């Protein structure tokens, strides 16, 4: 259980229906006829994420939520999953309105009330969020560890800096005594250290803003398989199709698709592309930062898996384009979080030039090699043909991941 259920709905200061009458966003439409399947809804232009927009964020989300609810109302009653989602249309509207009220209160300077409203809205979909909480071992898609193994999987972290020898602690989360360096990011609360990992060196590089490769240091991480992760990793359109490999995937694998469809307004509000890069305040980060704060307060949740807003498409990337965030569980005057320290092992950091020049003799270590990405616009390449993959293979087969001691 994700705690106890909220006792009341968020206050209806502003609703999606009332705001939507003030703004029309013609591009956000479910252009798929009067009766639609759940797969069609999640694959429509309306539900496709991430979103770019060019107007007031409250008005944009209000209109987007309104159009999405109209699509839910047109779901066919033939499919079990679609019928279940349609039956939850009022829950979807309550969640949408709660998000809008949260933003209204935040912009009015009432940040405490805003988080309380957000928590109340989450309470309305707690059951469906529970269905998206997955053990880390399942998300990583790796075989069960060998006997005696405590950590497993392949996650990556990069850091820019001079080509000096770094320690494992240098590649972990920002230490407590340097919390002033923790900036506001999509899933980063200013001053709250968190451990950020990527499912590939490539996505970690993308999230850093594509820095000069020669400036990078890399480590491979392994995690305890029982870590509980809220899975926002799949864009809804891919969750209904690519993950399952069937055109009727949403109906065949109904529980996951139902959860995605019902909490879609929350996923959407966490998946807005930053409108004004370089500015101190980023309204697109309000809801994902509140979600991270909510996760940190939940005793049976450890982190979030989420997709990047920096990629135009994930359909070819497959499992290479996931991000993970694990907030600290305990604070201290100095050092790193003991809970996270015990939850992860990592390889010694190696600079990118050293990884390039190193030719280890690797026996038995294998990495899955699916996925592709655009080397240039319109020119997809297999991920296994890239240097990112080659260096991941070296980190996997040439170095041993160990827990930070002390």
Domain shared by 84 and 206, yes or no: no
- Mean pLDDT on 265-292: 96
Q: How far apart are CA 137 and CA 139, in angstroms?
A: 6
- Mean pLDDT on 142-156: 74
Q: Please state, rounded to an integer, the average pLDDT across all residues of the chain.
A: 85
Domain shared by 208 and 354, yes or no: yes
Domain shared by 340 and 359, yes or no: yes
Q: Which of 292, 310, 325 is the last residue of a domain?
A: 325
* pTM confidence score: 0.87
Q: Is residue 76 part of a domain?
A: yes
- Mean pLDDT on 98-112: 98
Nearest to 153, CA basis, from 359, 340, 316, 319: 319
Q: How many domains does the chain have?
A: 2
Tell me if residue 202 falls in helix, strand or coil: helix
- Mean pLDDT on 225-230: 93
What does the pLDDT look like over 294-338, one tens digit per residue? 999 999 999 999 998 887 655 556 678 899 999 998 889 999 999
Domain shared by 156 and 269, yes or no: no
Domain shared by 358 and 385, yes or no: yes
Distances (CA, A) of 47 to 100, 259, 263, 305, 311: 18, 14, 12, 19, 16
- Mean pLDDT on 202-230: 95
By mean pLDDT, which of 83-92, 248-257, 301-310 is the weakest?
248-257
Domain shared by 355 and 209, yes or no: yes
Domain shared by 41 and 126, yes or no: yes
What proportions of the chain, in percent to the nearest 5, are helix, strand and coil? 40, 15, 45
Domain shared by 125 and 147, yes or no: no
The pLDDT, as a whole number, for residue 20 is 39
Q: Which of 278, 294, 325 is the last residue of a domain?
A: 325
Q: Which of 285, 300, 325 is the last residue of a domain?
A: 325
Domain shared by 315 and 210, yes or no: no
Neighbours of 46 (CB within 10 A): 22
- The domain of 147 spans 143-188+199-223+330-398
Domain shared by 45 and 109, yes or no: yes
Q: Is residue 346 part of a domain?
A: yes
Domain shared by 214 and 174, yes or no: yes
Q: Is residue 82 part of a domain?
A: yes
What does the pLDDT look like over 184-197, one tens digit per residue? 999 999 999 999 99
Domain shared by 127 and 250, yes or no: yes
Q: Is residue 5 part of a domain?
A: no
């Amino acid at each position: 259980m994700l705690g106890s259920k909220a006792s009341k709905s968020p206050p209806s200061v502003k609703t999606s229906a009332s705001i939507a009458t003030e703004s029309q966003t013609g591009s956000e439409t479910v252009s798929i006829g009067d009766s639609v399947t759940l797969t069609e809804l999640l694959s429509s232009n309306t539900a496709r994420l991430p979103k770019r927009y060019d107007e007031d964020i409250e008005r944009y989300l209000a209109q987007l939520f309104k159009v999405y609810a109209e699509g839910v109302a047109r779901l066919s009653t033939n499919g079990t999953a679609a019928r279940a989602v349609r039956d939850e249309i009022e829950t979807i509207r309550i969640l949408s309105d709660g998000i809008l009220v949260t933003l209204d209160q935040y912009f009015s300077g009432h940040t405490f009330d805003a988080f309380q409203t957000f928590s109340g809205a989450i309470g309305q979909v707690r059951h469906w969020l529970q269905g998206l909480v997955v053990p880390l071992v399942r998300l990583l898609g790796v075989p069960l560890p060998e006997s005696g193994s405590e950590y497993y999987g392949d996650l990556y972290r990069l850091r820019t800096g001079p080509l000096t020898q770094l320690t494992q602690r240098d590649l972990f989360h920002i230490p407590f005594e340097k919390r002033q360096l923790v900036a506001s990011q999509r899933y980063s609360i200013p001053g709250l250290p968190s451990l950020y990992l990527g499912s590939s060196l490539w996505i970690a590089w993308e999230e850093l803003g594509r820095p000069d490769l020669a400036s990078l240091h890399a480590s491979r991480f392994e995690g305890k398989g029982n870590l509980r992760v809220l899975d926002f990793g799949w864009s809804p359109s891919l969750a209904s199709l690519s993950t399952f490999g069937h055109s009727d995937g949403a109906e065949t694998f109904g529980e996951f698709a139902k959860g995605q469809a019902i909490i879609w307004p929350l996923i959407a509000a966490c998946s807005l592309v930053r409108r004004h890069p370089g500015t101190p305040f980023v309204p697109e980060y309000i809801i994902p930062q509140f979600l991270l704060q909510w996760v940190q307060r939940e005793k049976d949740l450890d982190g979030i898996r989420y997709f990047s807003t920096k990629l135009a498409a994930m359909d070819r990337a497959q499992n290479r384009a996931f991000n993970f965030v694990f907030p600290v569980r305990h604070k201290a005057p100095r050092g790193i979080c003991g809970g996270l320290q015990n939850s992860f092992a990592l390889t010694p950091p190696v600079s990118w030039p050293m990884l390039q020049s190193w030719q280890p003799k690797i026996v038995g270590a294998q990495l899955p090699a699916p996925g592709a990405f655009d080397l240039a616009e319109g020119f997809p390449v297999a991920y296994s043909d890239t240097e990112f993959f080659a260096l991941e293979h070296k980190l996997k087969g040439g170095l041993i991941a160990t827990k930070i001691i002390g």
